[in-house]
Amino acid sequence: MFTIIAGTRPEIIKLAPLYFALQKQNVNVCWIHSGQHDADTYDFFGIRPDEKINLNRKSNSLSELTSLLVEKLSNLHLFKLSNNIVVHGDTTTAFCSSLASYYTKKKVFHVESGLRTHKDEPFPEEKNREMIARLSNLNFAPTNEAKQNLINEGIKEDKIVVTGNTIVDATLYAKSKIKTNTQDEVKTILVTAHRRENWGQGMHNICKALNIIGESYKDIKIIFPVHPNPELKKIIKKEIISEKIELCNPFDYGNMIEKLCKSWLVITDSGGIQEECVTLQKPVLVLRNTTERQEVIDMKAGILVGTDINNICSTFNNLYYDKNLYDSMLLPLEKNPYGDGTASQKIAEILSKV
């Protein structure tokens, strides 16, 4: 039996196609929701976790979350039954699931392995994924660059398989379900920002840059779904003053993909959205100094702008007035560095033979 463990929105989105692919391979697969985030993303895919953990967190401390997850997972009935654990990416859920699996001598299969910035950002994700790779019996790397990162860290090549990224599978599935993918007549800019390294001054700078952009161009509108973290909400609601910027609650996955399809440009510090932008042919400005999705930058589908106000505004201005630059960032699907939408099938075929 294989057990998928997920606890955040990105994990659910990227593991859902694999869950269905395993079922098609007649693999006995179940799902544990760790409780790190809310479980509402499951509704879009029609998935019902077999078990949900109630963490009863008293703070936002990473130490508390880590200790709770390792302890509760280790004692969970469904976790005890399975010898094969599937985790995704770089979350605290993925790290704790891998650690608990190691403690109880279970096999770990790591989807989206090998992403690196080679710095301490993003925090704590960079170290999470390094440790998960070492705890894993098999690493599914989305790209050759990710594979090379793992090899450089001493992971044996026979423990690595390049498969593409399951986010392409999920994005194409969601796109097929939405009502319309026609771009808005006005230039709509979709913004997301939530990274821990951007908390504080970085977020203040992002908001100030958005205000400047909002007031400098007549035919644009900015949609900014605000992350539920109370500290972030406080900063954003205080700093955003332009009437061109619409603050709203986060979208469910289907609505998010629809908003992406309708957008002219995306400005984000998210990792997964960078991959979705490439898949949906949307230029992306990345509000970070480094990215583990370096393929997006190397193929010129995205531009790193960090949180410097002048850099964000000047790069936006270049894209606004230079159509050739804008068009050059629209990669056709066959050039997508993250694959063609068959990653989940490839992974499921491998796991079915374990």
Q: Do domains 2-165+340-351 and 176-335 have the same CATH topology?
A: yes
The angle at the Cα of 282, spanning 173 to 94, to the nearest 5 degrees, equals 55
Spans of all domains in the chain: 2-165+340-351, 176-335
Specify the CATH architecture of the domain 176-335: 3-Layer(aba) Sandwich (3.40)
Could you list the pLDDT tens digit for every one of the 354 residues in the chain?
999 999 999 999 999 999 999 999 999 999 999 999 888 899 999 999 999 999 988 888 899 999 999 999 999 988 999 999 999 999 999 999 999 999 999 999 999 999 999 998 888 999 999 999 999 999 999 999 999 999 999 999 999 999 999 999 999 999 999 877 678 889 999 999 988 788 889 999 999 999 999 999 999 999 999 988 888 888 999 999 999 999 999 999 999 999 999 999 999 999 899 999 999 999 999 999 999 999 999 999 999 999 999 999 999 999 999 999 999 999 888 899 999 999 999 999 999 999
Least Cα distance to 208 among 309, 121, 294 occurs for 309
pLDDT for position 175: 94
pLDDT for position 112: 98
Residues 6+ apart with CB under 8 A from 260: 190, 266, 273, 276, 277, 280, 282
253: its two tokens: 């996955």
pLDDT in tens, 290-327: 999 999 999 999 999 999 999 999 999 999 999 999 99
Please state, in angstroms and rounded to a whole number, the distance separating the CA atoms of residues 270 and 280.
15
Please state, in angstroms and rounded to a whole number, the distance separating the CA atoms of residues 285 and 316.
8
Report the sign of the C-alpha dihedral through residues 105, 111, 113, 116, in that order. negative
Report the sign of the C-alpha dihedral through residues 307, 313, 317, 318, in that order. negative
Residues 6+ apart with CB under 8 A from 336: 168, 278, 279
Q: Give the active site residues.
A: 194
CATH number listed for the domain at residues 2-165+340-351: 3.40.50.2000
Spatial contact of 257 and 13, defined as CB atoms under 8 Å apart: no
pLDDT in tens, 50-101: 999 999 888 888 999 999 999 999 999 889 999 999 999 999 999 999 999 9
Least Cα distance to 84 among 100, 105, 107, 104 occurs for 107
CA 193 to chain centre: 12
Three-state SS string over the chain comes to CEEEEECCHHHHHHHHHHHHHHHHCCCCEEEEECCCCCCCCHHHHCCCCCEECCCCCCCCCHHHHHHHHHHHHHCCHHHHHCCEEEEECCCHHHHHHHHHHHHCCCEEEEECCCCCCCCCCCCCHHHHHHHHHHHCCEEEECCHHHHHHHHHCCCCHHHEEECCCHHHHHHHHHHHHCCCCCCCCCEEEEEECCCHHHCCHHHHHHHHHHHHHHHHCCCEEEEEECCCCHHHHHHHHHHCCCCCEEEECCCCHHHHHHHHHHCCEEEECCCHHHHHHHHHCCCEEECCCCCCCHHHHHCCCEEECCCCHHHHHHHHHHHHHCHHHHHHCCCCHHHCCCCCCCHHHHHHHHHCCC
